[in-house]
Chain A
Amino acid sequence: METLSHLAHGFSVAFTPVNLMWCLLGTTLGTAIGVLPGLGPALTIALLLPITYQVAPEASFILFAGIYYGAMYGGSTTSILLNTPGESATIVTALEGNRMARSGRGGAALATSAIGSFVAGTLGTLGVAFLAPVVVKFALSFGPAEYFSLMVLAFITVSAVLGSSSVRGLTSLFVGFVIGMIGVDLQTGQPRFTFGMSQLLDGVDVIVVAVGLFAVGETFYMASRRYAGKDEIVPLKGSLYMTAAEWARSWKAWLRGALLGFPIGALPAGGAEIPTFLSYAIEKKLSKHKEEFGTVGAIEGVAGPEAANNASAAGVLVPMLTLGLPTSATAAIMLSAFQSYGINPGPMLFMTQANLVWGLIASLFIANIILVILNLPLIGLWVRLLKIPAPQLYAGILVFATVGTYGISQSPTDLVILYLLGGAGFLMRRFDFPTAPVIIGMILWPLAETQFRRAMTISNGDWSVFYKHPLSLTLLTLAFIGLIGPHIYAFIERRRTRGPEHVPGDA
């Protein structure tokens, strides 16, 4: 009840015309920066930090929250339409979303991602309002051993995206590991695989890799196939929005995505990418339309990950607001904005700054509503992009990918890497190697490695931490079941269908 009255008060803060204006500005800006690869919410908020000298704390946080949520919506648009992910959290969206767009269901893909983002964002925000103290306790019980076990589980589940040939899939995954290792090693401060180039010390940005392999590689491939005669993109088929069947397939995926995204987002080292991988893998397992995955595009594969990334965006706010822990780049910058108001974010924030915190939470609900209203009508405009003839469209994608990549750090080196990876993406496509595992490998490997080494440092080299911690053991058990479960199931099935002739000892 107390929470409800706080929330009501929060809405009274957020519903002033000025604050609504900030919210609208933030969500619009956020959608726009989400669309462009490279320009993320963290960078945008950092550049807008001077605004904190001019306006009230509530107004600037409402603006920042709008940008933050808006970017999560906007990032999916280019993933789906152009196969050019705007944010690392929307890389998975490109897998099925772009297939759907090519087979004429771009509108449905955009709609399911917008509505899914709304549903999950709202659920996640409810989670922030009502469950924050509980979730944060759970999140703190995660130590390096637990994180490592979570990564093991993630590795097992994402084998679903390895594609039809495991050898090719694993090859791609290992390439991803190597790319993920480039840069200064956090544990020892030593550079690895940088070949003496200072530009590589900070590693390769995952967005550069995703855009290079997906968008640039795809463009090269299309250019090489041009004279083969077929134009693959179908402008639009059927209704602009979702059909009844698509609704039926989406809603469960939204809920599952939100359930995965929120708690993992709340983990201090959880992030937004892992829940999208897990959601994709789960949707692929549960789907009754497996044949659509990787071919014409399955709507569950868009709905789930999109819901997961928005719920995790809400989850990130849990440690930030309850403990003052910044667990993502964006949260860290928002915290520094708190500081420029002389507010020290910490465990007392909910008490000492109730106006601000509840105003912020209320404005997140409003931002979600504004975003879905803003994004649904835009779909009609976005899908027209697909009517552009292929040569012009792909030329546009190339320009867009190049400009966006340069925007990440204004580094010409990134552009060289982008085109090298584009070439690699082309070859992989040509010789039928899946590209998604590269991205998954480069995100998961450094996390797994770091957490493993941390766990071993803390335990002084004692392996038992991985099975003596109950949570870690649970996660490893789940991973084990995930690994052998399907085989046992298949074995039992086989025995049952083949019947008595296979009973041992039967002559």
Chain B
Amino acid sequence: MLNRRRFLTSTGAAGFAALHLSPAFAQDAPQIQIFVPAAPGGGWDQTARTMDQVLRSEKLISGSQITNVGGAGGTVGLPQFISQWNGKGNSLMVAGMVMVGAIIANKSANNLTEVTPIARLTGEFEALVVPAASPFKTAADFVAALKADPTKVPVAGGSAGGSDHILFGLIAKTVGVPAANLSYVPFAGGGEALSALLGNQVAAGISGYGEFSEQVKAGALRLLAISADKRQEGIDAPTLKEAGIDVELFNWRGVFAPPGVSDADKAAMITLVETMAKSDAWATECKNRNWTQILLTGDDYAKFLAEDTARIAAILKDLGLA
């Protein structure tokens, strides 16, 4: 069959191009496997591919194999990682806050306590924005309107139960507005939410700062506040805390080893990831992608994970999603 032959030659060519790209690898460095419970192209996948790139350029590994099993906030891939990757000491799974929320909302049979926490790597803080023409000049204006009648303040963001929705819930809870009354308009992708804002279809938007940054710089959107822990260089907006809303949130991403790995493998993996996270190459990549480095490893990471899971579970319950 011609079509198949053509297909094979072409993919062969692509494979060759990809091989050609990998730099000469160090012989003694290990080979690792990265499991991405999302389709290629998203945040977790980019994290995995950037890790692969930095680890190789720093000669920490000789190469890596990335496996994508996408779907439903990672809850399709997670069971597979737990059952089929059990005990594989050279493997990592990329996951993050979105998966914590999806596990709760989808009532997944598996959760992140079953895998081995290695490191929290990066986070993206969220931004609260309004269209340029909006009457809201500050976060206080927004909160006042929300308190007056939450149903009249439709807010656009990512999928229901995701980090944007969670932040909106947390803001409402903190200022004393019942989360169940909120008018949240979920969009599948950042682009669609952004167009609803630019077209003045909604009152405000919540998403990762990176989604909005260029529109804010161009003056099409007004940035009211960010969810980071402190003011960010080059961003002319207060944190939510400074604006009088005591909420801090990073849409964090981290890596996990499978269940059943030895302590030695776990320690080696933590060292590997820590070395990578402290390299200049990683710092440059994070800067390019608007990722804030929030490194936390091993037991500290496990403790953080437990706290964050409890916080997310509580707010999803308030939002009526759990």
Q: Are B159 and A144 in contact (CB under 8 A)?
A: no
441-495 of chain A: CB within 8 A of chain B? 454, 457-458, 460
Report A357-387 CB contacts with B as 1/0, cut-off 8 Å: 0000000000000000000000001101100
Q: How far is the CA of A452 from the CA of B192 in the complex (A)?
A: 15
Q: Are A50 and B49 in contact (CB under 8 A)?
A: yes
Q: Which of A48, A341, A385 contacts B3 (CB under 8 A)?
A: A385
Asked whether A342 and B41 contact (CB < 8 A) given A35-B7, A78-B3, A144-B201, the answer is: no
Q: In this assembly, does A291 line the interface, its C-beta being within 8 Å of a C-beta of chain B?
A: no
Q: Which of B4, B159, B217, B288 contacts A339 (CB under 8 A)?
A: B288
Asked whether A189 and B7 contact (CB < 8 A) given A43-B40, A51-B21, A458-B183, the answer is: no
Q: Are B152 and A339 in contact (CB under 8 A)?
A: no
Q: Are B192 and A327 in contact (CB under 8 A)?
A: yes
Chain A CB within 10 A, most for which of B79, B288, B320: B288
Q: Is the contact region of chain B dominated by helix, strand, or loop, or is it mixed?
A: helix
Q: How far is the CA of A348 from the CA of B186 in the complex (A)?
A: 27
Q: Which of B40, B190, B194, B196 contacts A143 (CB under 8 A)?
A: B196
Residues from chain B with a CB closer than 8 A to the CB of A251 are none
Closest B-chain residue to A55, C-beta based? B21
Residues from chain B with a CB closer than 8 A to the CB of A345 are 214
Q: Identify which of A114-122, A226-234, A318-326 touches chain B.
A: A318-326
Closest B-chain residue to A32, C-beta based? B10
Report B107-140 CB contacts with A as 1/0, cut-off 8 Å: 1110000000000000000000000000000000
Q: In this assembly, does B278 line the interface, its C-beta being within 8 Å of a C-beta of chain A?
A: no
Q: How far is the CA of A249 from the CA of B288 in the complex (A)?
A: 51
Q: Are A347 and B218 in contact (CB under 8 A)?
A: yes
Q: How far is the CA of A53 from the CA of B13 in the complex (A)?
A: 18
Q: Which of B154, B184, B191, B213 contacts A331 (CB under 8 A)?
A: B191
Q: Which of A319, A342, A396 contacts B1 (CB under 8 A)?
A: A396
Q: How far is the CA of A300 from the CA of B201 in the complex (A)?
A: 38
Closest B-chain residue to A185, C-beta based? B160
Q: Identify which of A101-109, A149-157, A194-202 touches chain B.
A: A194-202
Number of A-B contacts (CB under 8 A): 200
Residues from chain A with a CB closer than 8 A to the CB of B192 are 268-269, 325, 327
Q: Are A187 and B186 in contact (CB under 8 A)?
A: yes
Q: In this assembly, does A46 line the interface, its C-beta being within 8 Å of a C-beta of chain B?
A: yes
Q: In this assembly, does B164 line the interface, its C-beta being within 8 Å of a C-beta of chain A?
A: no
Q: Are B105 and A189 in contact (CB under 8 A)?
A: yes
Asked whether A190 and B1 contact (CB < 8 A) given A51-B17, A202-B71, A457-B185, the answer is: no
Q: How far is the CA of A129 from the CA of B76 in the complex (A)?
A: 41
Measured CB to CB, the closest approach of chain B to A277, in angstroms, equals: 20
Asked whether A189 and B49 contact (CB < 8 A) given A323-B194, A347-B214, the answer is: no
Q: Are A325 and B106 in contact (CB under 8 A)?
A: no
Measured CB to CB, the closest approach of chain B to A460, in angstroms, equals: 5
Q: Are A53 and B10 in contact (CB under 8 A)?
A: no
Q: How far is the CA of A332 from the CA of B14 in the complex (A)?
A: 21
Measured CB to CB, the closest approach of chain B to A361, in angstroms, equals: 20
Measured CB to CB, the closest approach of chain B to A69, in angstroms, equals: 15
Closest A-chain residue to B15, C-beta based? A47
Q: Which of B10, B76, B289 contacts A198 (CB under 8 A)?
A: B76
Residues from chain B with a CB closer than 8 A to the CB of A340 are 288-289
Q: Are B41 and A325 in contact (CB under 8 A)?
A: no
Q: How far is the CA of A323 from the CA of B193 in the complex (A)?
A: 13
Asked whether A457 and B184 contact (CB < 8 A) given A190-B321, A345-B214, the answer is: yes
Report B288-302 CB contacts with A as 1/0, cut-off 8 Å: 110000000000000
Q: Which of A42, A139, A348, A384 contacts B218 (CB under 8 A)?
A: A348
Q: How far is the CA of A84 from the CA of B102 in the complex (A)?
A: 34
Q: Are A346 and B183 in contact (CB under 8 A)?
A: no
Residues from chain A with a CB closer than 8 A to the CB of B72 are 183-184, 191, 198, 201-202
Measured CB to CB, the closest approach of chain A to B194, in angstroms, equals: 6
Q: In this assembly, does B11 line the interface, its C-beta being within 8 Å of a C-beta of chain A?
A: yes
Q: Are A184 and B189 in contact (CB under 8 A)?
A: no
Q: Are B191 and A188 in contact (CB under 8 A)?
A: no
Q: In this assembly, does B2 line the interface, its C-beta being within 8 Å of a C-beta of chain A?
A: yes
Residues from chain B with a CB closer than 8 A to the CB of A396 are 1
Q: Are A143 and B191 in contact (CB under 8 A)?
A: no
Q: Are A336 and B46 in contact (CB under 8 A)?
A: yes
Q: In this assembly, does A344 line the interface, its C-beta being within 8 Å of a C-beta of chain B?
A: yes
Asked whether A28 and B10 contact (CB < 8 A) given A49-B49, A323-B194, A457-B183, the answer is: yes
Q: Are A347 and B220 in contact (CB under 8 A)?
A: yes
Q: Which of A186, A326, A348 contacts B190 (CB under 8 A)?
A: A326
Q: In this assembly, does B243 line the interface, its C-beta being within 8 Å of a C-beta of chain A?
A: no
Residues from chain B with a CB closer than 8 A to the CB of A329 are 41
Q: How far is the CA of A140 from the CA of B198 in the complex (A)?
A: 7
Chain A CB within 10 A, most for which of B10, B21, B220: B10
Q: Are B159 and A458 in contact (CB under 8 A)?
A: no
Asked whether A50 and B21 contact (CB < 8 A) given A347-B215, A396-B1, A454-B185, the answer is: yes
Report A37-78 CB contacts with B as 1/0, cut-off 8 Å: 000001111111111011000000000000000000000011
Q: Are A198 and B108 in contact (CB under 8 A)?
A: yes
Q: In this assembly, does B177 line the interface, its C-beta being within 8 Å of a C-beta of chain A?
A: no
Q: How far is the CA of A331 from the CA of B46 in the complex (A)?
A: 15
Q: How far is the CA of A400 from the CA of B7 in the complex (A)?
A: 12
Q: How far is the CA of A77 from the CA of B39 in the complex (A)?
A: 26
Measured CB to CB, the closest approach of chain A to B205, in angstroms, equals: 12
Q: In this assembly, does A307 line the interface, its C-beta being within 8 Å of a C-beta of chain B?
A: no
Closest A-chain residue to B66, C-beta based? A47
Residues from chain A with a CB closer than 8 A to the CB of B183 are 457-458, 460
Q: Using a CB–CB distance below 8 Å, which chain A residues touch chain B?
A: 25, 28-29, 31-33, 35-36, 42-51, 53-54, 77-78, 139-144, 183-191, 198-199, 201-202, 268-269, 319, 323-327, 329, 331-333, 336, 339-342, 344-348, 381-382, 384-385, 396, 400, 409-411, 454, 457-458, 460
A/B interface sample: 24 pairs, CB < 8 A: A28-B13, A32-B10, A36-B3, A36-B7, A44-B14, A48-B17, A50-B21, A140-B195, A140-B199, A144-B185, A189-B106, A189-B165, A198-B76, A202-B70, A323-B215, A325-B194, A326-B191, A341-B288, A347-B215, A411-B69, A454-B185, A457-B154, A458-B202, A460-B183
